[in-house]
């Protein structure tokens, strides 16, 4: 029997594996890091009135980020420069190259009951925050029974 905790742990491992595979397969054949694609970490949570996404993209200029929403798929694209101004003919000795650079793209399919035209984006300390509001009809609501005093407590 799967518990909620084990299911969440399994999903976390699957997402991590998916991200690692995306990054590994995105490298160029010659092993260079230039132009390599990468997959930034993403959190997606649901609130009663909206979906919230946080996407880690430190070092990316927010003016260069492209966010689109089409057929209920939210896509974020951009690129992260290496940070060093190097000429192609410069001879380099690389001691460590751990930072991810290059282009990125992340897409998330959302339910059909979101208000795409009201999606809001904010960028703070290297994290892109997206708020995708739900349509009013999709938000949970309490339904009262006509003629019943809800303040009465049922005695058992």
Report d(CA 149, CA 144) in Å as an integer. Answer: 9
Q: Exposure string (b/e) for 128-144, b if CB count within 10 Å is 16 or more? A: bebebbbeeeeeeeeee
Domains, the chain, with CATH or none: 4-84+98-138 (2.60.40.790)
Are the C-beta atoms of residues 35 and 28 closer than 8 Å to each other? yes
Q: What is the pLDDT along the chain (156 residues), one digit of tens a residue?
A: 555 555 566 666 766 766 666 555 554 433 444 556 789 999 999 998 999 999 999 999 999 999 999 999 999 999 998 877 777 777 878 788 788 889 999 999 998 889 999 999 999 999 999 999 998 876 677 778 888 776 665 555
Look up the pTM and report it: 0.65
């Amino acid at each position: 029997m799967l518990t909620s905790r084990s299911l969440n742990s399994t999903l976390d491992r699957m997402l991590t594996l998916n991200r690692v595979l995306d990054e590994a397969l995105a490298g160029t054949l010659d092993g260079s890091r230039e132009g390599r694609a990468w997959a930034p970490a993403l959190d997606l949570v649901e609130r009663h009135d909206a979906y919230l996404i946080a996407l880690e993209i430190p070092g990316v200029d927010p003016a260069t980020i492209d966010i689109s929403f089409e057929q209920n798929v939210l896509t974020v694209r951009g690129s992260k420069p290496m940070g060093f101004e190097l000429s192609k003919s410069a001879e380099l000795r690389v001691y460590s190259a751990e930072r991810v650079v290059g282009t990125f793209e992340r897409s998330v399919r959302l339910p059909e009951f979101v208000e795409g035209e009201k999606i809001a984006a904010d960028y703070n300390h290297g994290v892109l925050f997206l708020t995708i509001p739900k349509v009013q009809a999709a938000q949970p609501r309490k339904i009262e029974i006509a003629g019943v005093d809800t303040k009465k407590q049922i005695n058992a």
